[in-house]
Every structure is written in structure tokens, then in C-alpha cells.
A and B are shown apart, each in its own frame.
Chain A
Amino acid sequence: DAGVTQSPTHLIKTRGQQVTLRCSPISGHKSVSWYQQVLGQGPQFIFQYYEKEERGRGNFPDRFSARQFPNYSSELNVNALLLGDSALYLCASSRTPGGDNLNEQFFGPGTRLTVL
């Protein structure tokens, strides 16, 4: 079975530009979460979507937005890019949104975003 896939693998943008990152969850998983991982740190939660609805949001500015499609894939959009947005953006899928032992989350390989 295919795991979580993300595209693109790498991306270079300049300050002020906008970017869209894509994620396809594991088949049968209806929840997608997005994380930002700055070099040398643990991932920080950005969003969680379940059944196309936002179920959770981390401490990120409104420049960050996301959506989930009927096939459960998801997009993360970041507007007005700043140098500090440079990071590895991870997508994780799970069957349901709850944080319990029945709901393990599986990560994709990430999209490495560099803002110049």
C-alpha cells in the first residue's frame, strides 16, 4: 500500500511569494495534519483536517491556510512568504482525528521549502 505522499519534494521561493503544498493520505485515512519543522527542532502543529473540515489549528498566522478535498487529499497554502517560513513541511494522515492509541499518524517525506 502507498504511504503518505507529498509534492513537491523541494521548493525555492522568494520573500512575498505564495506557495501551495500538496498531500495525499494513506488510503482509508480521513484525517490530514500539517506540521512545520524548522531545522534542528521537532515538528510544530499547523492544521488538522477531518472530513474536509478544520478540526484544529496551531499558533500560526493567517498567512497559513489549508483545505481538504473530497478524496481526503489536502493542500497547505502560505502567502506573503517570509525568510522564517523556510522549513520542512510535513503531512501526516490518520484514520480519525483523535489523539489516542487507535489513531496512529503516519508521516510523508515532507516538502523542503526555502525562502530567499
Chain B
Amino acid sequence: TQLLEQSPQFLSIQEGENLTVYCNSSSVFSSLQWYRQEPGEGPVLLVTVVTGGEVKKLKRLTFQFGDARKDSSLHITAAQPGDTGLYLCAGGHPSGTYKYIFGTGTRLKVLA
């Protein structure tokens, strides 16, 4: 069974601080996606990383895919209250099967 473990599970920080969320697995994924989900809504796609070692930046968010495509990280610089939400990573299964495996989630709260 493939598992994607995220850490930390919960994070409460002050506005302006930096933070990193980790997504780890013992399995290789063809791609990895990061989502943010707000209460009562579906997850919203932030980024997809595909190549081992790939780094993508989205304003204050930096995403990295591990060289072996088994892990990923999300770094937020100068967090803002609007960044508050549940952050989920999801691994795309290598070709031959048709499903995404979601991580356990990191609940972030940014205090003003």
C-alpha cells in the first residue's frame, strides 16, 4: 500500500514567518501535486511537479520534488493570513494504474 505522509500535521505561525511542509513516501510517483483546501470546499490545485529535483515557484510558495520522486516540500515565505488552510500533497501513480494517492494533510493557521 502506498502512503504519503505529511509533516507537520498542524502548524500555527505568526504573519511574516517562513514555513516548510514535507510530503514523504517510500514509493516513486510519476508526478506530485500540491493542493490547498478551505473548509467546506474542494481542494484547489497549486502546482504539479514531474521531474526529480524540479523546483517551481508560485509567488511566495516554492515547491520541490525530490531527486528520487518519492518526496516533496512546500516552502512558504512571509506567510499571510490568506495562506491559512489545509495543504495536501497527492502522488500520481506511475502509468498502468489510474489513481492519485493523497497525503494526510497539513493544517496551517497564520495569525495576523
Is the pairing of A and B real? Answer: yes
- A-side residues, CB < 8 A to B, are 4, 31, 33, 35, 40-45, 48, 50, 55-56, 58, 90, 92, 97-101, 103-110, 112
A45 to B43: give the CA distance in the assembly, Å.
14
Q: Which of B33, B35, B92, B100 has the most CB of A within 10 A?
A: B100
Whether the Cβ atoms of B92 and A100 lie closer than 8 Å is: yes
A106 to B49: give the CA distance in the assembly, Å.
16
Write out the residue numbers on chain B whose beta carbons fall within 8 Å of the beta carbon of A45: 99-102
Q: Summarize A's interface: helix, strand, loop or mixed.
A: loop
Instruction: Identify which of A58, A99, A103 contacts B94 (C-beta below 8 A).
Output: A99
A98 to B29: give the CA distance in the assembly, Å.
12
Whether the Cβ atoms of B44 and A55 lie closer than 8 Å is: no
Instruction: Identify which of A42, A56, A100 contacts B30 (C-beta below 8 A).
Output: A100
Instruction: With both chains docked as a complex, state the minimum distance between the C-beta of A13 and any C-beta of chain B, in angstroms.
Output: 19
Assuming A43-B88, A97-B98, A99-B91, what are 4 further A-B pairs, CB within 8 angstroms?
A: A4-B42, A99-B99, A107-B35, A107-B45
**Could you give 26 example pairs across A and B, Cβ below 8 Å?**
A4-B42, A33-B100, A35-B102, A42-B4, A42-B88, A42-B102, A43-B43, A45-B99, A50-B98, A56-B98, A58-B99, A92-B42, A98-B30, A98-B92, A98-B98, A99-B30, A99-B93, A99-B94, A99-B95, A100-B30, A101-B31, A104-B48, A106-B45, A107-B45, A110-B40, A110-B42
The 3 closest A-B pairs by CB, nearest first: A99-B92, A107-B42, A42-B102
